[in-house]
Amino acid sequence: MTAYTARAHTNIALLKYWGKADQELIIPTTSSVSLTLNEFYTDTTVEFIPDLPDDEIVLDGKLLSGSSNQKVIHVLNLVRTKANITTKAKVISTNHVPTSAGLASSASAFAALAGAASKAAGLNLTRSELSMLARRGSGSASRSIFGGFAIWNRGTNDRDSFAHPIDEDVHWPIQLLTVIVNDQPKEINSRVGMQSVVATDPFYQAWVDHANAQVPAMLTAIENHDFQKIGQLAEANALQMHAQNLMATPAFSYLTDTSWIIIRLVQRLRQQGLSVYATMDAGPNVKIISMPADTAKILVALKEQLPNVKTTVATPGPGLEIIKGHHI
Ligand code: DP6
């Protein structure tokens, strides 16, 4: 069978997905809104090979095993069921993320896998169907099928929980400056972290209600190209998500001392008149939502306080691309 290669870019949630209503199907408790980035992408080639005894998954040159392997096989099984085949596959995947950036790659990884595996199995899925399939690997991957701004409507079942494009052709000035924080706290992956919050946070339902109410406000802000409103909503939503982690039992936090130095710096720059906002995911890195014209000022302020810190700058990026690949 023909091999196919897909490229998907990562996305950063401006309104976060933080909890599942259905853990098996990966149906979220809230809708989420994201920006797909031009940096940080995954290239994945899939070929279904007759007589291959088992699925073989190679990530960044290493043969995968354990739970990441299981997640990939889970998506391959869904594809096989849809295509009515039993053939095993070889999957070769490469993450293009700056070394030690510590950025999550599951969004780009499962979007690329959904694209390459479905094509290689002879399926021609719509982008909505690709989003549903990517979602079954990792929730945030549902949004990486689309470029620019996307919304994952939470839905209630396997067929109505998928992402839609909001504005894929984003030329207006918005960027995400990632500040790479090296003091890694104890690793709690997002799947475990959000489940612990859903199960133990006494204020979780209030967070869900509030987060769902932020969605229409964010859509209006994007439609109006209202950068400040987008930033304000994104920062509030991110801090509220991280507050839930402190409400869980046992309480946990992804944010370290350095994360807070950067968050406070962002707040200070705002007091000085700059339009800059912070967002954080399941790790200590802080992403600064800003306008490209302010990059130099932000970097000067950052270097003053944290001279050795590394940064990367990303702008809006494209959705899933699939090309016919060579035999593996
Ligand atoms: C904080 O999509 O990695 O980045 O569905 O369990 O694989 P699973 O979780 P994942 O969670 C992402 C959480 C987040 C917020 C977001 O991207 O919306």
Give the C-alpha separation, 210 to 216, whole Å.
11
Which atom from ligand 1 is nearest to the alpha carbon of 137?
7
Q: What angle do CA 190, 193, 195 make, to 5 degrees?
A: 105
The domain locations on the chain are 4-169, 175-314
Place domain 175-314 in its CATH homologous superfamily: GHMP kinase, C-terminal domain (3.30.70.890)
Q: Is the pLDDT of residue 129 over 80?
A: yes
CATH class of this structure's domain 4-169 = alpha beta
CA of 12 to the centre of ligand 1 (A): 10
Share the mean pLDDT of the chain: 94
CA of 132 to the centre of ligand 1 (A): 15
pLDDT score for 182: 76
pLDDT score for 325: 76
CA of 281 to the centre of ligand 1 (A): 8
E strand map for the chain:
4-15, 20-22, 27-28, 32-48, 56-59, 62-63, 89-96, 149-153, 162-167, 175-180, 277-279, 286-290, 310-314, 321-324
Q: Is the pLDDT of residue 179 over 90?
A: yes
Ligand 1 residue neighbourhood (C-beta within 6 Å): 13, 16-17, 26, 32, 104, 106, 138-140, 190-191, 281-282
Nearest CA to ligand 1 atom 6: 191
Q: H/E element holding 106?
A: helix 106-120
Band of residue 324 on the pLDDT scale cut at 50, 70, 90: confident
CA of 293 to the centre of ligand 1 (A): 30
pLDDT score for 278: 98
What is the reported pTM? Answer: 0.96
Side by side, which strands form the sheet with 277-279?
A: 277-279, 286-290, 175-180, 310-314
pLDDT above 90 covers what percent of the chain?
A: 88
Which atom from ligand 1 is nearest to the alpha carbon of 110?
7
323 vs 94, 120, 126, CA distance in Å?
Answer: 15, 10, 16
Give the C-alpha separation, 35 to 23, whole Å.
24
Give the C-alpha separation, 149 to 146, whole Å.
8
Nearest CA to ligand 1 atom 12: 140
Which atom from ligand 1 is nearest to the alpha carbon of 241?
1
Q: What is the mean pLDDT of residues 132-137?
A: 98
Structure tokens at 49: 């090979």
pLDDT score for 24: 97
pLDDT tens, residue by residue, 190-243: 999 999 999 999 999 999 999 999 999 999 999 999 999 999 999 999 999 999
pLDDT tens, residue by residue, 51-74: 999 999 999 999 988 877 999 999
Give the C-alpha separation, 137 to 300, whole Å.
40
Q: What is the mean pLDDT of residues 99-126?
A: 88
